[in-house]
Structure 1
């Protein structure tokens, strides 16, 4: 009889599923929002989302622990964990790369136990009594810098109950070391970003006439201006001398601190070479230069002419402001 009782007891230990009842819940799950993203920036855009979990065993349960795993699967747009992408319907349509991470140093991608080659956060919980065991998990997210071909718009990626879920693996003596297949709660969410229109003056050199004799006339010189704007973004470039002329007609003054020299050397900014080149000012639709961004630097030549150098010998200069409107 003792042998029979021992075998029956062993049978119960090997078939504990009837007594393994653990209930987990999640709260605080929100959308992951990057807010405004400048795709021309040299700095990554980072954000995070923290949610809570709670697990407890039921009355008369004998299990000692549970391992819970948080799975975030493939992007709805890329169909993969690496890379993940948000999408904008347009027009024109576009995508924006991003990634979800398990750590604040953005080195471990957050994956799913159902996606080979990826890892998931696994948390081991000791369930010693009926008191709920609680905690929190943070999803770290990053949009990599310099995605220069991305068009402005509202971008989104979606994770459903099928791609964002908890699994549980219970143990009698201690929490298991692996993820289980028992389905826990799901935590669907969206990933959102707004790619904003943006322009940046990337390069601007001085216009230098060099040395001139007092008999010289119709002096001409030029420089280059580099402007980068987000793809599909119309813009205009205006030039404003320090006297705020909207027609690009400025004056150079002594640059040596010579208080006795009150001469002012007039000059004209132009968008084409020569004294007959079109004036370049700051009146949109009249004398500005227009373009459409492609995410890369577009270079423009700016010209200036001086009718005469017949002024007090000195070094003359003026400051021109570049206005990019988009």
Structure 2
């Protein structure tokens, strides 16, 4: 009888040990199927321009851990109306200025990001994140694209002023499954919501400055057997009564004072920049070749036209370019 009792005791102990090990294996897997957000990097537009759009990009982090098997995560991003409340457009404000902007889910900035809980009628910003098995961690920094459109104005005040828009109810909603990507952000075998703070910031500076400079594109030509003209613009805004001077550098490929564009093959095409449409007054960086003016106030920009000319010359087919530095002195 004693051996029988010992055998039962050994079997019972073995069974208890197996059940305990099974529990240890299952518990981490259930615990590991989890996602958290380590916060966001906000959108900062820098100094805003009334004459061109200002773009910026931020991110929101999502970090997920699988169980023993691989995992599949679907996430949805929502950004609340914020303070001041609004969307399409949102507004960055301080006590004297209100600047329209918006936040988008695509780099082309065509798809607005809506508020929780379901996007407020805007397309839901959603994506997927695969997570390797073996309790691995996978992370994604989800991009948020911001744009301040051009054509806005603000008071003519001295100094630099910050405008802001703050959101305290931004969310990443996620769903986890161990067989496939969930169809929705509330499906799968587990789902939850991560809250994060979102801020959008811009600076207003009404000092003398260049607010826009367009590229000078000579276009595509079959040959340079004849002169090829082109033009671009530079916009200057200065406080009323402020004298200023605008200079153009010789570029990065000039030789003996002559501007040249360069191709990837190392070939050159000569060109010149002028103040006038008749191509008689060169625009450069010595006093006699600069353009002078006087500020007319924040709401009255000075738009200067730059006239380019590629004279007739022999050339090798290719794409040619140069970079000009524009210097405003006041």
Q: Does the residue aligned with 2:299 lie in a helix, a strand or coil? A: coil
Q: Provide TM-score, normalisation by structure 1.
A: 0.51
Q: Does the residue aligned with 2:57 lie in a helix, a strand or coil? A: strand
How many angstroms does 1:158 deviate by? 0.3
Partner of 2:176: 170
How many angstroms does 1:239 deviate by? 9.5
How many angstroms does 1:46 deviate by? 0.8
For residue 125 of structure 1, the aligned residue among 117, 122, 129 is: 129
Distance 1:127 1:113 in 2: 26
Task: Say whether 1:156 aligns with 2:161.
Answer: no
Query: For structure 1, which runs of at least 5 residues remain unmatched after alignment?
Result: 1-18, 203-226, 241-255, 257-281, 283-288, 299-322
For residue 82 of structure 1, the aligned residue among 88, 107, 118 is: 88
Partner of 2:141: 136
Partner of 1:309: none
Larger Rg: 1
Distance 1:200 1:29 in 2: 32
Task: Say whether 1:36 aligns with 2:36.
Answer: no
Distance 1:159 1:239 in 2: 41
Partner of 2:37: 26
Q: Does the residue aligned with 2:59 lie in a helix, a strand or coil? A: strand
C-alpha deviations, 1:276-304, integer Å up to 9, x for none? Answer: xxxxxx9xxxxxx997x462469xxxxxx
C-alpha deviations, 1:27-50, integer Å up to 9, x for none? Answer: 3622211111122x2x21111113
Aligned length: 201
Structure 1 residues 64 and 58: CA distance shift in structure 2, 3 A: closer
Distance 2:184 2:207 in 1: 47
Tell which deviates more after alignment, 44-53 or 169-178: 169-178
How many angstroms does 1:174 deviate by? 1.9
C-alpha deviations, 1:177-203, integer Å up to 9, x for none? Answer: 22229542222021111111045899x
For residue 189 of structure 1, the aligned residue among 164, 187, 198 is: 198
Alignment of 1:89-104 (within 5 A): 89=95, 93-104=96-107
Task: Say whether 1:179 aligns with 2:190.
Answer: no
8 Å contact 1:110–1:118 — kept in the other structure? yes
8 Å contact 1:87–1:157 — kept in the other structure? yes
8 Å contact 1:86–1:95 — kept in the other structure? yes
C-alpha deviations, 1:89-132, integer Å up to 9, x for none? Answer: 2xxx2200111111111111122343421123212334562212
Q: Provide TM-score, normalisation by structure 2.
A: 0.50
Query: For structure 2, which runs of at least 5 residues remain unmatched after alignment?
Result: 1-29, 212-234, 246-279, 281-291, 303-327
For residue 74 of structure 2, the aligned residue among 51, 67, 72 is: 67
8 Å contact 2:175–2:192 — kept in the other structure? no
More helix per residue: 2
Distance 2:127 2:66 in 1: 16
